[in-house]
């Protein structure tokens, strides 16, 4: 054995390339990836949906073969000897790979059999795993009846029955509540410290980068950067600020996003968070002419800033070069009518009053009350299974409530569901487009589904093509569109009939930060023009764009308020600047403490 001068890498990728055939086209999933993951460390594989994270995971696990390049896992060429590698690693695919019709214990038994854990060693190992995951009381429960967080932990336990040298976790935190997410990170910390397991962890949540020892940032199949998360934020130091002005945050955000020297401007609470191209404090007076009272306060950089900076400096592919502010479409007069966007107009457009929905003995939505004013962006935040979707379906008139009152645009949904529905535009999660139809055919179909015809239909289709920059890919089938483009098309389809209420179901989870910014810019412009927007999400960042939100868990509303107020309530001396996730956890902990008392 030759001596190794550097700390050995558990995973080494050298110029890896992988493409897939989709119909007649070849899609390059990964290109020229050269990276490594150090032994005993947690390496985060971070990037938006469709970046190539899962492909990379599968390559490392030996489930796919690279078209070109070398992949060495634990010192073995995985392309040549996948079985030798697979005997030494644990892999948790998306959706955890559990048998939902087997109990917790039966799942563990199966994986113990498969990994060759001797029967004599099992009881002790199970006890450790059940203790670590907190699943001890549930061994006889079917895996399908566990909550999302518990499934995630059981999936992890199954991959750990035989302690692996390398643990591959493919998006384990998607759709899982923040409490479980935090617990998962504690388990991972424990594994690397005590058992010296190497972990490769993929995620679309950029805020998880800071928990990793090292980060591989990938986008569109290419490596945008690698290194410790501190190095990513260090290069952004001195470039991020909170901007405040009396102009109103949405208008301020739109002006700042277009200002020279600014590479990023997002709404954060009542401020706008600005990132500059260079590390010096810009002159506030020169940034936005209208905002004479503009004040800038420095704030520490985030991982996301460096992602945005890398995306901005990269040569842009042609179709996203056309990103422009859509506010030109919302006419000045319309905007003058509405308030700055922060205020709630007097008469509410959506009224939900003591709403309850039962499925047999199960209460999916429990005594929920809120109201949303015209031109307001209102969020429903909660983990999977919190009752968001059920509430949404009742608001769309797709599901009758068991109890309570529901009014949309003044119509009672019990008696006038169809009328109320004609005022609503709905953009479903995963966009629900017809993937075999072209962009133009999708527009035509959805516009006729909303009963548009003749000249008006053509006018609306032309409007959508111009407004959402759909012209470059008009004849491509929806299947082949990039994610951000799909999102634009889905929004265009939801707006064909000019609804005055827009429902968005997790609209930007997993899309890259630029596409997300662009999307919210459009939504902001719509809200400014008086459209009422209701968003459901489990994605903390999306709530920052809301005027007000409710946090839901187990069918109940736990708290309601502006993002500022909700975060402010979680303020503690040791946590001076709480994030929405901190606030969410604090609210859930407070609720369970109350339930115990």
Partner 1 sequence: MKSASLLRLTGLMRKEFVQIGRDPSALAVAFILPAVLLMIFGYGVSLDARNVPLALVVEQPDALTASFTGQFAHSPYFRPRYYLTIQAAERAMAAREVNGVVWLRSDFSRRTLFPGAAPIGLIVNGVDANNARIVEGYVQQVWAQWLTARLGARPYLPAIALEPRVRFNPAVISKDYLIPGLIAMIMTLTGALLTALVIAREWERGTMEALMVTRVQMREILLAKLIPYFVLGMGGMAVAVGLAVFLFGVPLHGSLLVLTATSTLFMLAALGMGLLISGIARNQFVAGQIAIITTFLPAFILSGFVFDINSMPRAVQLLTHIVAARYFVSILQSVFLAGDIWSVILPNAVALAAMAVIFLGLARANARKRLD
| DSSP string across 378-408 | EEEE--TTSSHHHHHHHHTTSS--SEEEEEE
Binding mask 535-564 for partner 1 (x = CB under 8 A): ------------------------------
* Site residue total, partner 1 (CB under 8 A): 36
Of 154 and 394, the one with the shorter C-beta distance to partner 1 is 154
In terms of C-beta distances under 8 Å and separation of at least 24 residues, what long-range contacts does 52-56 make, across chains too?
Answer: 52/18, 52/218, 52/220, 52/221, 53/170, 53/171, 53/202, 53/203, 53/204, 53/218, 54/94, 54/170, 54/171, 54/202, 55/18, 55/29, 55/30, 56/13, 56/16, 56/30, 56/202, 56/218
Contact by Cβ (8 Å): 19, 27: yes
Of 62 and 148, the one with the shorter C-beta distance to partner 1 is 62
Q: How far is the CB of 166 from partner 1 (least distance, A)?
A: 11
Closest by CA to 581, choosing from 596, 595, 594, 563, is 563
Question: What would the two tokens of residue 377 be?
Answer: 């962006």
The β-bridge partners of 297 are 242
Contact residue for partner 1 among 50, 93, 385, 507 (CB under 8 A): 93
Only segment of 54-62, 123-131, 201-209, 419-427 that touches partner 1 (CB under 8 A): 54-62
Q: Is 214 in the site for partner 1 (CB under 8 A)?
A: no
Closest by CA to 206, choosing from 233, 188, 186, 184, is 233
Binding mask 471-500 for partner 1 (x = CB under 8 A): ------------------------------
Only segment of 95-103, 192-200, 261-269, 301-309 that touches partner 1 (CB under 8 A): 95-103
Q: If you count DSSP H runs as helices and E runs as strands, how many of each does the chain have, helices first?
A: 20, 24
- Report the distance separating Cα 152 and Cα 94, nearest Å: 9
Of 18 and 357, the one with the shorter C-beta distance to partner 1 is 18
Q: Is 65 in the site for partner 1 (CB under 8 A)?
A: yes
Q: Is 384 in the site for partner 1 (CB under 8 A)?
A: no
Q: How far is the CB of 20 from partner 1 (least distance, A)?
A: 8
Binding mask 11-40 for partner 1 (x = CB under 8 A): ------------------------------
Q: Is 200 in the site for partner 1 (CB under 8 A)?
A: no
Contact residue for partner 1 among 32, 40, 97, 530 (CB under 8 A): 97
| DSSP, res 306 | H
Q: How far is the CB of 97 from partner 1 (least distance, A)?
A: 3
Mode of pairing for the β-strands spanning 548-553 and 556-561: antiparallel
Contact residue for partner 1 among 12, 32, 70, 99 (CB under 8 A): 99
Q: Is 188 in the site for partner 1 (CB under 8 A)?
A: no
The β-bridge partners of 68 are 17
Provide the CA 199 distance to its chain's centre, in angstroms.
22
Residues in contact with partner 1 by the rule CB under 8 A:
58, 61-65, 82-83, 86-87, 89-102, 106, 109-116, 155, 158, 168
């Amino acid at each position: 054995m030759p001596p190794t001068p550097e700390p050995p890498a558990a995973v080494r990728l050298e110029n890896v390339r992988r493409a897939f055939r989709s119909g007649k086209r070849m899609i390059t999933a990964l290109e020229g990836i050269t990276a490594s993951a150090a032994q005993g460390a947690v390496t985060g594989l971070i990037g938006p949906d469709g970046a190539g994270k899962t492909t990379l995971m599968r390559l490392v696990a030996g489930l796919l073969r690279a078209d070109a390049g070398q992949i060495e896992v634990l010192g073995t060429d995985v392309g040549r000897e996948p079985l030798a590698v697979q005997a030494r690693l644990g892999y948790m695919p998306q959706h955890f790979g559990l048998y939902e019709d087997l109990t917790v214990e039966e799942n563990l038994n199966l994986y113990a059999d498969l990994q060759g854990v001797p029967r004599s060693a099992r009881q002790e190992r199970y006890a450790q795993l059940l203790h670590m995951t907190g699943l001890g009381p549930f061994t006889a429960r079917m895996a399908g009846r566990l909550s999302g967080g518990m499934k995630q932990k059981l999936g992890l336990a199954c991959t750990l029955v035989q302690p692996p040298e390398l643990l591959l976790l493919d998006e384990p935190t998607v759709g899982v509540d923040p409490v479980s997410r935090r617990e998962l990170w504690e388990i991972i910390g424990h594994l690397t410290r005590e058992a010296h397991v190497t972990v490769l962890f993929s995620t679309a949540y950029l805020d998880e980068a800071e928990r990793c020892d090292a980060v591989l940032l990938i986008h569109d199949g290419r490596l945008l950067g690698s290194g410790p998360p501190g190095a990513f934020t260090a290069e952004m130091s001195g470039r991020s600020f909170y901007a405040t002005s009396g102009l109103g945050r949405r208008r301020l955000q739109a002006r700042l996003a277009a200002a020279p020297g600014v590479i990023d401007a997002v709404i954060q609470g009542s401020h706008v968070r600005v990132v500059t191209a260079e590390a010096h404090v810009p002159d506030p007076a020169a940034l936005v002419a209208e905002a004479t009272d503009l004040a800038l306060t420095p704030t520490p950089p985030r991982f996301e800033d460096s992602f945005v900076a890398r995306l901005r400096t990269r040569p842009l592919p042609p179709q996203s070069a056309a990103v422009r502010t859509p506010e030109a479409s919302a006419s000045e007069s319309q905007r003058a009518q509405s308030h700055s966007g922060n205020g709630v107009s007097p008469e509410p457009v959506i009224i939900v009053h003591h709403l309850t929905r039962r499925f047999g003995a199960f209460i999916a939505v429990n005594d929920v009350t809120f109201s949303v004013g015209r031109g307001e962006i209102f969020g429903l935040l909660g983990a999977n299974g919190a009752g968001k979707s059920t509430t949404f379906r009742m608001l769309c008139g797709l599901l009758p409530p068991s109890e309570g009152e529901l009014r949309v645009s003044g119509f009672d949904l019990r008696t006038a569901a169809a009328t109320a529905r004609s005022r609503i535009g709905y953009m479903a999660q995963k966009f629900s487009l017809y993937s075999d139809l072209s962009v133009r055919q999708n527009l035509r179909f959805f516009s006729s589904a909303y009963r548009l015809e003749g000249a008006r239909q053509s006018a609306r289709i032309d409007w959508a093509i111009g407004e959402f920059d759909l012209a470059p890919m008009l004849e491509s089938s929806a299947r082949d569109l990039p994610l951000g483009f799909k999102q634009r098309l889905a929004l265009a389809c939801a707006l064909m009939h000019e609804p005055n209420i827009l429902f968005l179901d997790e609209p930007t989870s997993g899309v890259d930060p630029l596409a997300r910014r662009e999307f919210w810019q459009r939504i902001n412009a719509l809200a400014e023009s008086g459209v009422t927007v209701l968003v459901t999400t489990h994605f903390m960042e999306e709530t920052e764009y809301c005027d007000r939100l409710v946090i839901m868990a187990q069918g109940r509303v736990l708290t309601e308020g502006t993002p500022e107020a909700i975060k402010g309530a979680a303020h503690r001396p040791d946590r001076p600047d709480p994030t929405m996730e901190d606030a969410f956890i604090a609210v859930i902990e407070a609720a369970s403490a109350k339930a115990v008392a």
